[in-house]
Amino acid sequence: MADWLKALDRLAHERAKAGLTRQLRPRPAGDTVIDLAGNDYLGLSDHPQVITAARQALETYGLGATGSRLVRGTTDLHTALEDALAGWTGCESALVFSSGYLANLAVVRALSAVCDLVVSDAYNHASLIDGCRISGLPVKVAPHNDPAAVAALLDAHPGRAAVVTESVFSVDGDLAPLAALHAVTSARGALLIVDDAHALGLLGESGAGGVAAAGLAGASDVIVTATLSKSLGGAGGVVAGPAALIRHLVDTGRSFIYDTAPPPAVVAGVLAAVEVARAADDRRAVLLRRGTHLAAGLRSAGRPARDPAAGVLSVPAPGPEAAVAWAADCRDRGVAVGCFRPPSTPDGSSRLRLTVNAGVPEEAFARALTVILECAP
């Protein structure tokens, strides 16, 4: 075996000893596992209106977009979805990408044209971290959810900065103090980039997201990103904000220009999901009630858990091996839960991540809590 393959084997062995090995587990059609691991918060991935729209687009446009957005990949469905997302989030304009990851890469890198510093929350998602890295700008990491620390970093910097955060954090599920952060950034001429992936569809009036819930929709110094794969049950990503930013991304965004467009059938399904989600106050109420009930049940069993801000609830585990075993035991009993270990979490911090799905039947959701507690280490 070549030396480089031996080196990879040694690294794999070290990860295994640390409990950090990851595995792909194919999910069959008709899977009956109770899903508290995925991000289909509103249960829209198989909603009849969504499926019908996707099927009709598949028959009309074919399977793929056949090219990048600037070549042949943009259809009338893509522009209709961008208009719908801009209107929903209260932004002037929006641009759809093939993933939320690529949207975050694009927007942080794009701001290198007008900013000379990025301030990033310590718990930001990997896509935001990677966006900071490829931006080429100096990056300062701010303590988690600490507007005062952000203010101090901005005060020490004479130029224009971009502050990057999530609204609902993807692992712990806590809510960023967006209004306080915006007060800090707006007073100092900085921009605020908010990844609304885990809040869009769940927070704010008509599910318009965490930025809207904080009263910041349409602010000229606030940029919203999100994935279309969570509450909307589809795939893709979006950047929403001032029209000048969207024009800049179309002209310069490498992860937009050089990537094949999202398939029209997926776009059509997401467009239908936006319509359903805007009117889904009943589903949002179910999600809120279930999240509160889940946290209360964990606390009553002696497990630390705070009421989730949206659909993510984090439960500490003793270590990575214990987290893996806990998740595996739940899976063996028909309940899927998320298992998060470094590097997805800070070193020395492993946990289960439970996601609330309003589409799971009531009895199944109650059973899932019982299984999680019975399998706990």
Catalytic residues: 39, 125, 166, 170, 195, 198, 230
Burial class (CB in 10 A: 0-12, 13-18, 19+), 112: middle
Look at strands 139-142 and 237-241 and give their pairing: unpaired
C-alpha 249/C-alpha 136 separation (Å) is 17
- For the chain, what's the residue count? 377
DSSP letters spanning 17-69: HTT------PPPTT---EEESS--TTS-TT-HHHHHHHHHHHHHH-SS--SBI
Task: Tell me, rounded to whole angstroms, the distance of Cα 145 from its chain centroid.
Answer: 17
Question: Which letter, b or e, does each residue of 158-197 get, where b requires 16 or more Cβ atoms within 10 Å of its Cβ?
Answer: eeebbbbbbbbbbbbbbbbbbebbbebbbebebbbbbbbb
C-alpha 374/C-alpha 326 separation (Å) is 10
Burial class (CB in 10 A: 0-12, 13-18, 19+), 282: exposed
Q: Which amino acid is at 17?
A: K
DSSP 8-state secondary structure symbol assigned to residue 319: S
